[in-house]
Structure 1
Amino acid sequence: MTRRPAVLRSRIAVVALLAGLSCGLVACTPSASPTRTVTTAPEATQVAPTATPDAPVLQPDGTAEENLPLFAEITADVWAHTASSSGRAYIDALVDAGFDKSAMQVTEDLTTVGNAAESIQFSVRWGDRQCLVGQVGPSTGEPVTMVMDQLAEGRCLVGRTRPIDW
């Protein structure tokens, strides 16, 4: 049995801690019946969803539940074509589809020690009570999207998020 150097043990501990906390970054008060949609990557060659009669569209006056299919499709498309753990890719694609950038939050792409995050979360506040929330990254496998209740202060994600200043 070999002994791991202290640095390696520290890195393993940080990775384990981050992996355990990554799901905890999403809103901590789920609705009575949250909707969880695990999306699979389509085989298309475009990042933006193509217009078809059955394709979901943004419903600005609709509910979060009614807009979840479009949110999920955009999330799956970005993941399928880039396997991106870049929050900006998801925010930009959501904005291109008509979602309100000022209502969005996204977590950091990098850990505090500069490594790529095992997962990132992003959200769109919808109305006064709900959020569309997505999570992607190597630790999640397929993209996860759901509708969650907003936190007391009108936020969707717990913890520090990065400014969306581009």
Structure 2
Amino acid sequence: MTSRLGSTAVLALAGAAIGFGTAGCTATSPVPTRHPELTASASPSSAPASGSATPAPSAPPILRPTLSAEESLAYFSAVNLAVVAASSSAGGRDFIDARVAAGFDKSQMQVTHDRTTVALQPDSVQFAVFFQGECLIGQHGSGSDGYQSAVRPPLGTGGYLIGQTRPIDS
């Protein structure tokens, strides 16, 4: 059995080494995207065009599998921010279910645990989906200064998040 100090040191080292919680990235990866324009009240709907007094009706955004991961990041974030708006204490399951409902493939997702190995609330929850050869990665919680997202290459292990992830049940 690993000691609490040992587990904490491993997690801290892994987080410091990658600079984005437990999300996979490379040393040359850009800084994760903070979303000041997307608040917790954001939802996966279109914003009105600037300069327009009355927003034109538009179809709600949908997942477009032909777009790149970078082009799909705003939609991914809007879906996740809708989860945060519904519950600021949302857990991994909430993010998984919302992304499945939004059209993402559940079999291509990973999520971290909602509790630490010593049954504490984690500083943040990380979640990712493999999309168009890259990883759409989101992180939410007090330890990540709210919600952040990024596009990163998959890890050499074939996963999307560093560390132990939890099974995603049906």
TM-score for the superposition, normalised by structure 2: 0.75
Alpha-carbon distance in structure 2 between the residues aligned to 1:117 and 1:147 = 23
Correspondent of 1:43 among 37, 41, 44:
41
Q: Specify every segment of 5 or more residues in structure 1 that has no aligned partner in the other structure, as ranges.
A: 1-9
Aligned to 2:26: 29
Alpha-carbon distance in structure 2 between the residues aligned to 1:158 and 1:105 = 10
Superposed CA offset, 1:73-121 (max 9, x none): 1111111220134100001000000000000000000011101111110
Aligned to 1:77: 82
Aligned to 1:60: 65
Shift of 1:66: 1.2
Aligned to 2:167: 163
CA contact (8 A) 1:35 1:147 kept: no
CA contact (8 A) 1:25 1:159 kept: yes
Matched residue of 2:142: which SS? coil
* Equivalent residues in 2 for 1:9-158, closer than 5 Å: 21-22=14-15, 23-29=20-26, 32=28, 34=30, 36-39=32-35, 40-43=38-41, 49-50=44-45, 53=58, 56-128=61-133, 130-158=134-162
Alpha-carbon distance in structure 2 between the residues aligned to 1:90 and 1:141 = 17
Alpha-carbon distance in structure 1 between the residues aligned to 2:29 and 2:5 = 35
CA contact (8 A) 1:41 1:77 kept: no
Shift of 1:161: 0.3
Amino acid at match of 2:41: E
CA contact (8 A) 1:95 1:101 kept: yes
C-alpha change, 1:165 and 1:106, in structure 2 (3 Å) is: same
Alpha-carbon distance in structure 1 between the residues aligned to 2:13 and 2:114 = 17
Q: Specify every segment of 5 or more residues in structure 2 that has no aligned partner in the other structure, as ranges.
A: 47-56
Amino acid at match of 2:71: E
State the aligned residue count.
Answer: 152
Q: CA RMSD in A?
A: 2.9
Matched residue of 1:41: which SS? coil
Shift of 1:140: 1.5
Matched residue of 2:86: which SS? helix
C-alpha change, 1:54 and 1:68, in structure 2 (3 Å) is: farther
C-alpha change, 1:165 and 1:29, in structure 2 (3 Å) is: same
C-alpha change, 1:108 and 1:42, in structure 2 (3 Å) is: closer
Alpha-carbon distance in structure 2 between the residues aligned to 1:86 and 1:19 = 21
